[in-house]
Amino acid sequence: MAPHPRVIKAYNAMRSLGISDEEVKPVLKNLLQLYDRNWELIEEDNYRTLIDAYFELKEDKQTEGKRKAPISYLDGRKPKHKLHLVDGDIQASATDNSSEGLSIEDTEIPPNVFKQKIIKPSQTSIGHMEPTTSSQALQTVSSKVDGISTLPCMAARDRKLHRGKASAAGHCEDPIVETSNPRIQRENISSDHHQKELMTPRTEKLKLHLGPVSTSYNALYQNVHKEDATSACNNSKRTQKGNIDIASSPLGEIKISLNCEVALGQPNFRIPDLDAVMKSIEEKYLKAHMIVEPQSSMVKLLDDLCGSYLKLGLSLSPNGSTSKFANSRNVTCLPLQTVTEDDKNSFHFLDDITKGSENVKISLLDETGSEDVPQFNYIPYNVIYQDANVNISLARIADEGCCADCAGDCLSLSLPCACSQETGGEFAYTPRGLLKDDFLKACMSMKLEPLDHHFVYCQECPLERSRNDIVPEPCKGHLVRKFIKECWRKCGCDMQCGNRVVQRGLRCKLQVFLTQEGKGWGVRTLEDLPKGCFVCEYAGEILTNTELYERIMQKSGNDRHTYPVTLDADWGSEGVLKDEEALCLDATYNGNVARFINHRCSDANLIDIPVEVETPDRHYYHLALFTNRNVNAYEEFTWDYGIDFDDHEHPIKAFNCCCGSPFCRDKKQKGQSDNLVLVVLSHVRI
């Protein structure tokens, strides 16, 4: 009888894993019976149910075999690996191409052979959730590309990175990362292994017990730790490292337990979806880390998995939807345990601090786990706190101050439109959306050599009033800054117009991370960025000077940081500016990613440039941060706040600068503690 096409497909899928038709047949038959011949259940996710059921059956049979009788080895040698993970008949998998029709009657459990399997390098599965019975297998996620075992959604590019990272991190021995390099396997498999086995790439199958207490991986896992690799061929051994507990048996079985008991102290913990846990790990290691950080390792990754498991579990609402696996019979809930010291050492990771409000996610990472996650509310754009008079109305924009007659992209016009007037009849941006070199150069020169440029003077300066309200000193002057003016709502061009960069929002891949130099949190780029690239604007609450002053007065000694930026670019031209008219941006409680960007004296890689978008005057404007040189992936962003560290009269005391720049302006001794360290960013003090 001609085999059923679905049977042939199933056989083919299993053959690609090196499993013979003979062995698949009884398993498939059982599953068809169990699922009432519902093929969809068997076929979904690349036959994961079938694969799981197959391995489960093998495991059961092996256990039974061990109990009943000594195991017979076809080649007379003891196996190094337990059948649970690697099995198969060499001849069958290599030569048996028959796809006999499957009939219920011809079910036959294959002999309990215990042989090392020759398997293609690509044959690996990860993320198998152990079912309660052998036939209830769920959650096998297998990936067969490039000989690298991968997490389920890993893109081809990411897999390359994964491989690159393995070597960079010195963890090539990790079978999860690299299974196809025979040299590496030779180095890590004990000497009594048969040569055929040494040259044979293996498959791994990882099992995950989902439960609030421990997450376990069972794997043919000789090489996770070198010390454990050898122990797998000698005596049983158990090692503990952080949240990870590794036990190995003389049969080559290694079990990795990830202790997530910290979850148990959390009343809101719900068991998360394993796919979501895996995805979150991928986000972190493949996208955020790009698998190139030297300190990354599988141990760290598994530890991270535990952390993500907890975090995702906690993020599920008690009454809302829980994981589809949460009530599954396949979930193993283990007894309660207490929180250990190790739990306190786990890192902090947030997938997206923007709450989805930006074009791109921004992750937060504290690899030490020592710092509390910052408490603030993410806002992507400036928001008026209360009294600030920011008059945004179309009526204020004169017809000649916009380009109502334009269409499409203003940058493509042979004669630049009215919106280029502010920048001398030329747009500040290139068609690639970068700052033009000349414009950037002029802005840099103002930043670095302010005295070479023009200043305007207030009749009564709000800054001087804040120093001495009774007898304020004369205004020291405000630099006449270069502005960018972008097209806006009254303009006829479209949103893709090249003169709309800042208003389109953040595009770069950024990460908030804990700096090593004692600067607290910082921001880094996760990709190479060219010179003149818009990174983000400094967004916060728009406050009047009066409101800012009141806030500063209310701050307690523990509340160390405030992040106000004065919008003083137009102060001099406004004559007498009252405190309730002078504006600033405060990102302390409500702000965007820029609130984490640290200061660097003089040679910072970002520059702040005022940008006029909705309002035609310069009373209120946006403060946009652009790269002033090429910035490499993983470089920390910095900008020069313009602090005069020698100005001891300033109402706001500066921090002790740890910028590390050879041009650092802070000459005072390090280590002096400040009770309340506040900093006014972005005004050059001369």
Q: Which residues bind ligand SAM (CB under 6 A)?
A: 374, 519-522, 561, 563, 595-596, 598-599, 655, 657-659, 677, 679
User: What whole-number distance in Å separates Cα of residue 65 and Cα of residue 55?
Assistant: 15
Q: How far is the CB of 629 from ligand SAM (least distance, A)?
A: 18
Tally Cβ neighbours within 10 Å of residue 330. 17
Q: How far is the CB of 661 from ligand SAM (least distance, A)?
A: 8
Cα-based distances in Å from 569 to 97, 420, 452, 591, 626? 78, 19, 17, 21, 18
Closest CA to 551 of 397, 425, 676: 676
Q: How far is the CB of 509 from ligand SAM (least distance, A)?
A: 19
Cβ closer to ligand SAM: 128 or 599? 599
Closest CA to 14 of 157, 110, 129, 155: 110
* Residue 119 and residue 20 in contact, taking contact as beta carbons nearer than 8 Å: no
Q: How far is the CB of 521 from ligand SAM (least distance, A)?
A: 4
Cβ closer to ligand SAM: 154 or 543? 543
Cβ closer to ligand SAM: 150 or 592? 592
Q: How far is the CB of 519 from ligand SAM (least distance, A)?
A: 4
Q: How far is the CB of 145 from ligand SAM (least distance, A)?
A: 40
Closest CA to 85 of 149, 132, 170: 149
DSSP element (H, E) containing 181? none
User: What whole-number distance in Å separates Cα of residue 627 and Cα of residue 536?
Assistant: 10
DSSP 590: E
Extended beta strands in 480-613, E state: 484-485, 510-514, 521-525, 534-537, 540-544, 564-566, 583-591, 598-599, 606-612
Cβ closer to ligand SAM: 160 or 561? 561
What token pair was written down for 586? 């405060």
3-state secondary structure 600-647: CCCCCCEEEEEEECCCCCCCCCEEEEEECCCECCCCECEECCCCCCCC
Cβ closer to ligand SAM: 19 or 601? 601
Extended beta strands in 377-475, E state: 377-378, 383-384, 455-456
Cβ closer to ligand SAM: 274 or 654? 654
Q: How far is the CB of 173 from ligand SAM (least distance, A)?
A: 38
Give residue 447's identity as a one-letter amino acid code: K
Burial of 147 (0-12, 13-18, 19+ CB in 10 A): middle
* Residue 418 and residue 403 in contact, taking contact as beta carbons nearer than 8 Å: yes
Q: How far is the CB of 66 from ligand SAM (least distance, A)?
A: 56
Q: How far is the CB of 646 from ligand SAM (least distance, A)?
A: 16
Cβ closer to ligand SAM: 517 or 617? 517
Q: How far is the CB of 387 from ligand SAM (least distance, A)?
A: 23
Q: How far is the CB of 565 from ligand SAM (least distance, A)?
A: 9
Cβ closer to ligand SAM: 426 or 674? 674
Instruction: Concatenate the DSSP letters of all residues of 74-108 into one string.
Output: TTSS--SS-TTTS---HHHHHH----PPP-GGG--
Cβ closer to ligand SAM: 427 or 655? 655
Q: How far is the CB of 547 from ligand SAM (least distance, A)?
A: 19
Strand partners, 451: none
Cβ closer to ligand SAM: 301 or 594? 594
Place of tokens 């690609």: 16
DSSP 230: H
Cβ closer to ligand SAM: 275 or 603? 603
* Residue 312 and residue 188 in contact, taking contact as beta carbons nearer than 8 Å: no
Extended beta strands in 303-446, E state: 348-350, 362-366, 377-378, 383-384
How many helices and strands, by DSSP H and E, does the chain display? 13, 24
User: What whole-number distance in Å separates Cα of residue 388 and Cα of residue 376?
Assistant: 21
Cα-based distances in Å from 321 to 248, 290, 308? 38, 32, 18
DSSP element (H, E) containing 277? helix 274-282
Cβ closer to ligand SAM: 417 or 658? 658
* Residue 18 and residue 93 in contact, taking contact as beta carbons nearer than 8 Å: yes
Q: How far is the CB of 462 from ligand SAM (least distance, A)?
A: 21
Cβ closer to ligand SAM: 269 or 538? 538
Q: How far is the CB of 507 from ligand SAM (least distance, A)?
A: 22
What token pair was written down for 96? 């048996």
* Residue 257 and residue 214 in contact, taking contact as beta carbons nearer than 8 Å: yes
Cβ closer to ligand SAM: 408 or 660? 660
When CB distances to ligand SAM are compared, the closest residue is: 520
Q: How far is the CB of 294 from ligand SAM (least distance, A)?
A: 24
Cβ closer to ligand SAM: 406 or 607? 607
